[in-house]
Amino acid sequence: MEKEIRLKPIGIIHTPYKDPKGIPIQGTFKKGATGQIEVFPEYKDGLKDIEGFSHLILIYYFHLAKEEKLIGKPFLEDRPRGIFAIRSPARPNHIGFSIVKLEKIENNIINFSEVDILDNTPLLDVKPYVSHFDSRENVRNGWLEKHFKGGEIPKRTKLE
């Protein structure tokens, strides 16, 4: 088994969020927020045919994360949880993902909305969101379930 894996960014994500404290916990809770991805020129051809998808999955590196924890505090509770049961950036490898709404593509620039990513975040990969593959039935939401009863956005959710 490899001890080290090397990844290289394929682009940079630009968003209005300059400070981690102002980012919503999920982009779908902040519909008006927009961002842009500058895909590096050598990866531009990889964008072919992506315009037909309404949503994208962005895989990125939490470049400002300093800590690696196995136990962390989630945004919606004060009780510590296992890092793999929450979406904190203070995790091994500092890998994050977001599902965003594709607005348009111009040359090597992807314009998107429903953003929950810090400005200048290195982009590792882009995948199309395909409802036939990515949506599941009979999903359990673990400890989070109690926060979404009745379909309401939790009171402690950051929307700004």
pLDDT digits (tens, 9 = 90+) for 28-82: 656 678 999 999 999 999 999 999 999 999 999 999 989 899 998 887 778 899 9
- Cβ 94 vs Cβ 62: under 8 Å: yes
Which whole-number Å values give the CA distances from 126 to 51, 57, 65, 90, 129, in the listed order?
12, 6, 21, 22, 9
- pLDDT above 50 for 159: no
pLDDT(26) > 70: no
C-alpha distances (whole Å) from 151 to each of 51, 98, 145, 155, 157 are: 31, 20, 10, 12, 13
H/E segment holding residue 134:
helix 131-134
Q: What percent of the chain has pLDDT over 90?
A: 50
pLDDT of residue 152: 63
Residue of 1 and 124 predicted with greater confidence: 124
Q: Which CATH architecture has domain 11-151?
A: Beta Barrel (2.40)
Region 118-145 average pLDDT: 86
The pLDDT assigned to 2 comes to 73
pLDDT bracket for residue 150 (50, 70, 90): low
Sign for the pseudo-dihedral over CA of 105, 106, 107, 109:
negative
Structure tokens at 95: 């890998």
The yes-or-no verdict on residue 151 having pLDDT over 70 is no
> pLDDT class for 96, splitting at 50, 70, 90?
very high
pLDDT at 158: 42
Q: What is the pLDDT of residue 154?
A: 61
Between 31 and 12, the more confident residue is 12
**Mean pLDDT of the region 80-94:** 88
